[in-house]
Amino acid sequence: MSVSTIVNIQKNLGRYGLSTLIVLGNVGNILTILIFIRTLIKKSNSCTCYLLAASITNLILINTSLISTVYGVDHVDPQHTSIVVCKLRWYGGQILLMLSRSFMIAACIDRWALTSPHVKIRSFCRPKIACNVILCLILIWPIIPVHMAIFINNYSGRCGAPSYYAFAFSIYLFIFIGFLPPCLMIFFGVLAWHNLRQIRSRIAPRRNLTQTRFHKADRDLMRMLAGEVLVYVVTTVVYPANVLYGFITTPITQQKSEMRLAIESLVGYIVSPLLNYIYCVAPFYGMI
Over residues 88-114, the pLDDT tens digits come to 999 999 999 999 999 999 999 999 998
Label residue 210 by pLDDT band (50, 70, 90).
very low
Q: Which residue has the higher pLDDT, 124 or 201?
A: 124
Cα–Cα distance for residue pair 151/164, rounded to 1 Å: 10
Over residues 163-184, the pLDDT tens digits come to 889 889 888 988 998 889 999 9
Q: Which CATH superfamily is domain 3-287 in?
A: Rhodopsin 7-helix transmembrane proteins (1.20.1070.10)
Residue 118 burial (C-beta neighbours within 10 Å; 0-12, 13-18, 19+): exposed
Torsion on CA atoms 190, 193, 195, 196, rounded to nearest 10 = 180
Residue 82 near residue 136, CB atoms below 8 Å = no
Residue 130 near residue 49, CB atoms below 8 Å = yes
For the residues 57-81, what does the mean pLDDT come to? 92
Domains of the chain, by residue range, sit at: 3-287
- Which residues on adjacent β-strands are paired with residue 155? 158
Residue 163 near residue 218, CB atoms below 8 Å = no
Label residue 18 by pLDDT band (50, 70, 90).
very high
